[in-house]
Structure 1
Amino acid sequence: MSSKVAFYTLGCKLNFSETSTIARSFENEGFDRVDFSEEADIYVINTCSVTENADKRFRTIVKQSQKGNPDAFVIAVGCYAQLKPEELADVDGVDLVLGATEKFKITDYLNDLTKNDRGEVHSCEIDEADFYVGSYAIGDRTRAFLKVQDGCDYKCTYCTIPLARGISRSDTLENVMHNAAEISSKGIKEIVLTGVNIGDYGKGEFGNKRHEHTFLDLVKALDQVEGIHRLRISSIEPNLLKNETIDFVAQSNSFVPHFHVPLQSGSDTILKLMRRRYLTNLYVERIARIKRTMPYACIGVDVIVGFPGETDEHFLETYNFLNELDISYLHVFTYSERDNTLAAEMEGVVPKNVRAKRSKMLRGLSAKKRRAFYENQLGSVRTVLFEGENKSGYIHGFTENYIKVKAPWNPELVNTLHEVELTKIDEDGLVRFEFVSSKVLA
């Protein structure tokens, strides 16, 4: 009988795409994939280290796997496994810890599945993570996460990702197109581009620094993929989001008017302390360019509160800056100290209760911004891609500009595109609609 393997992913879309690639390597070796809640012979946990919370969650997930099968072999991979392999190896129940390069050769380490008293570590120096492994994840039947780039050459003072993932390197354009065609052949309608710093695409193809293609080349090529109706750029640094890319998306066949542009702080003083590669004036220009070419575009923003040295005045600068910007929602991160970062040694530590209060204020602002964006879109005609899950009798979907809609459950709508008129916002904040016609667009 085949051995069973289950996977749990913490963190970002990039981690989800890599989990899928790792899972396919198990399936190629004859393993049966089961849900993490089921009994399995092997549990693989793909870790994240961006926040303290993700570190804590890891221990909970290990305990969960042990409940499923106390004799199961537990493997930790991912960013936390690269940064603190010995710490993970000490967690009760963990048998194997694989670093940044080893995780893609995971099945090579499965000769002996006997439980260990302590986790065995196979982890390279991060300087050795100079090759590229392409991957994609099919999260549900409607969209796929396609990895195009890995690693980062930026030296932001709060971030451990360069230590966890190595230098910036990209997939070849040929391989990206091959993966996109493979996704299309599975009947999936939408691709979300993922990476650590995707605007840096083209740098470091297989560890060298040749710029064979740019991010704009990638976008133009993907726009031609047959069968994919939507392409979404997940997150891109403001200094790398060029005007040419914005202008191309505005008139493209498949790219949707949705951008996620990290800001991190609305105070130039704090941006300099963070060693970000832009100041607020450039950010304002980027948002203005998007809204000028695509007035109905959805714009999401990452922001960090409680960075060392952030006074009340700096925070209010950020709050007011975001309040005045024409954006649609925020992803708010409460700063947490990470080992081996410059920020962890900085003065002006913000008390945790103050960080929590600031975070709550920005989350409130995000809800207000999202509501205003949704209200502004009422009465407009948009295209909705419906998702595959029955949630309490409703089907959900997203418009091209990332408005979440709901309707009574109808299995015939799953993975179809329809033209709708947005009519009202429901009590739960989701948008109701009416079909413009009964015609299925795709």
Structure 2
Amino acid sequence: MKKKVAFYTLGCKLNFSETSTIARGFQEEGFERVDFSEVADMYVINTCSVTENADKRFKTIVKKAQKVNPDAFVAAIGCYAQLKPEQLAEVDGVDLVLGASEKFKITDYINDLSKNDHGEVHSCEIQEADFYVGSYAIGDRTRAFLKVQDGCDYKCTYCTIPLARGISRSDTLQGVLDKAEAISAKGIKEIVLTGVNIGDYGKGEFGNKKHAHTFLDLVKALDTVDGIHRLRISSIEPNLLKNETIDFVAQSNAFVPHFHIPLQSGSDEILKLMRRRYLSELYVNRVQRIKKVMPHACIGVDVIVGFPGETNEHFLETYHFLNELDISYLHVFTYSERDNTTAAEMSGAVPKNVRSKRSKMLRGLSVKKRRAFYESQLGTMRTVLFEGENKEGYITGFTENYIKVKAPWNPELVNTLHQVELSEIDEDGHVRFEFVSQTIDV
């Protein structure tokens, strides 16, 4: 009988891409992958350090696995496992904790899957995580997450990612192209580029600061891969999103007009406290450049509320800055203290209830921004890639500029591209449409 393994992933697209690659490694070793809700011989939890109350989330997931199979072997990997290995090892039911480097060799650390008396830890010093492991996530989705870069050399005062993932390093250009072609061969229509700091793409292994290739080189090369209809840039720092890249995307064959650009604060004072590598003026310039060459582009923004020292005036500066900016939606993060970060030692802590109130205000602004963006696109012709899930009798999909549409369920639409005319916004915020053409797949 094949041993069964199940996976649970917390956090970002990068984590999902790595879980998928690690899972394929198990399958190559003869394991059968099953859903996390099913009985398995081993459960692997890929953790995240960004999530607030990460330890509580982790404990809940461990209990969920134990409820399904109390005798199963439980392993923790990922960012939180690198930052707090001993803490995770003490959680009842955990048998193995692997750090940033060890997670990719997880099958080397398991024997007969018999339970341990206590969690066994294998975690290198983060300085030793100096090699690159490529990965990509595919499944029942119509898109794949392709990792092109890992780690970060930035020293933002609130962030634990450099402590969890190490220095900035990248896949080779040929390595990325090979993986993109492998994804294309599986019939997947869209690739989302992911990493910790993808605009820093090109730095080699072992801390080599020299860029063998630039992010623009990567974008230009990927645009030539056959069979990939869409390429989407996930999240890129504003100081690394160059005008040349924006202009190339505007006339690209495959790259779509959708950018996600972290801002974190609209106050220059707070940006300096965060040690971000830009000020608000540069951010405005990036948004204006995108909208000049791609007026229909979707622009998402990350923002943090409640950072130490953020007064009400600072917050309102951020609110008004975002309100006046031609953006499409927000990802709002409520600041929470992280061990071993500079920000955790700063004075001027913002009360939790104030952080919560500010977060609620920005989430409301995000709803307003998304609605305005959707309304601006009504009556336009767009191309939709339909997803594979039947959601209460409906099929959903996304336009190239990230507008979510829905229609009555039709399995023949799954993973196909259609030209549509956007017509109205329904009560749940999705956009209705009229078909303009049959499938445009080639």
SS at match of 2:300: strand
Shift of 1:206: 5.0
Gaps of 5+ in 2: none
2:382 is equivalent to residue 372 of structure 1: no
| Alpha-carbon distance, 1:201 to partner | 0.1
The 8 Å contact of residues 42 and 74 in structure 2, kept in 1 or not, is answered as yes
Q: 2: distance between equivalents of 1:24 and 1:441?
A: 28
**Matched residue type, 1:32:** E
Residue 406 of structure 2 aligns with which residue?
406
The aligned runs of 1:158-237 (5 Å cut-off) are 158-237=158-237
Q: Does the CA contact (< 8 Å) of 1:10 and 1:54 recur in 2?
A: no
| CA distance in structure 2 between the aligned counterparts of 1:240 and 1:166, rounded to whole angstroms | 19
Amino acid at match of 2:396: H
Rounded to whole Å, the distance in 1 between the matches of 2:226 and 2:244 is 23
Indicate the SS of the match to 1:211.
coil
User: In 2, Cα distance between the equivalents of 1:73 and 1:169?
Assistant: 32
Query: Number of residue pairs matched?
Result: 442
Aligned to 2:432: 432
| Structure 2 residue 299 is matched with structure 1 residue 299 | yes
TM-score (norm 1): 0.99
Q: Is the 8 A contact 1:268 1:279 kept in 2?
A: yes
Q: Which one-letter code corresponds to 1:382 in the other structure?
A: R
Q: Does 2:134 correspond to 1:138?
A: no
Measure, in 2, the Cα distance between the counterparts of 1:440 and 1:197.
Answer: 34
How much has 1:211 moved relative to structure 2? 1.3
Query: Counterpart in 2 of 1:149?
Result: 149
SS at match of 1:192: strand
Q: Report how far residue 441 of structure 1 moved.
A: 3.5
Query: Counterpart of 2:259 in 1: which secondary structure?
Result: strand
The one-letter code of the counterpart of 1:431 is: V
Shift of 1:112: 3.8
| 1:3 pairs with 2:15 | no
The SS at the match of 1:421 is strand
C-alpha deviation, 1:140, in angstroms: 2.9
SS in 2 for 1:379: coil
Q: Is the 8 A contact 2:204 2:212 kept in 1?
A: no
Q: Which runs of 5+ in 1 are unaligned?
A: none
2-structure distance, mates of 1:62, 1:308: 33
Q: TM-score, normalised by structure 2?
A: 0.99
Letter in 1 for 2:263: L
- How far has the Cα of 1:116 moved from its partner? 1.4
CA displacement at 1:75 relative to structure 2: 0.2
1:226-265 per-position Cα deviation (integer Å, ceiling 9, x unaligned): 0000000000000000000000000000000000000000
Structure 1 match to 2:323: 323
The residue type equivalent to 1:109 in the other structure is Y
**What is the identity, as a one-letter code, of the residue corresponding to 2:428?**
D
Find the counterpart in structure 2 of residue 109 from structure 1.
109
Structure 1 stretch displaced more, 136-145 or 364-373: 136-145
Where in structure 1 do 4 or more consecutive aligned residues deviate above 4 Å?
none
Letter in 2 for 1:349: A
Match of 1:37 in 2: 37
Residue type of the alignment partner of 1:148: V
Q: Distance in 2 between matches of 1:171 and 1:272?
A: 31
1:42 is displaced (CA, Å) by: 0.3
Output one character per residue of 1:2-28: Cα deviation in whole Å (capped at 9) or x when no partner: 100000000000000000110011000
Write out per-residue CA displacement over residues 80-129 of structure 1, whole angstroms, 9 at most, x where no aligned residue.
Answer: 00000000000011000000000000000112422112100000000000
Q: 2:185, 2:204 → 1: CA distance?
A: 29
2:77 alignment partner in structure 1:
77
1:118 maps to 118
C-alpha distance in 2 between matches for 1:163 and 1:286: 29
Contact 1:48/1:55 (8 A) holds in 2: no
* Contact 1:3/1:41 (<8 A) preserved: yes
- In the alignment, which residue of structure 2 is the partner of 1:363? 363
Q: Choose 208-217 or 330-339, whichever is displaced more.
A: 208-217
Q: Percent identity between the aligned chains?
A: 85
Give the CA deviation at 1:208. 2.2
For 1:243, the equivalent position in structure 2 comes to 243
Deviations 1:36-88 (A, max 9, x none): 00000000000001132333211100000001100000000000000000000
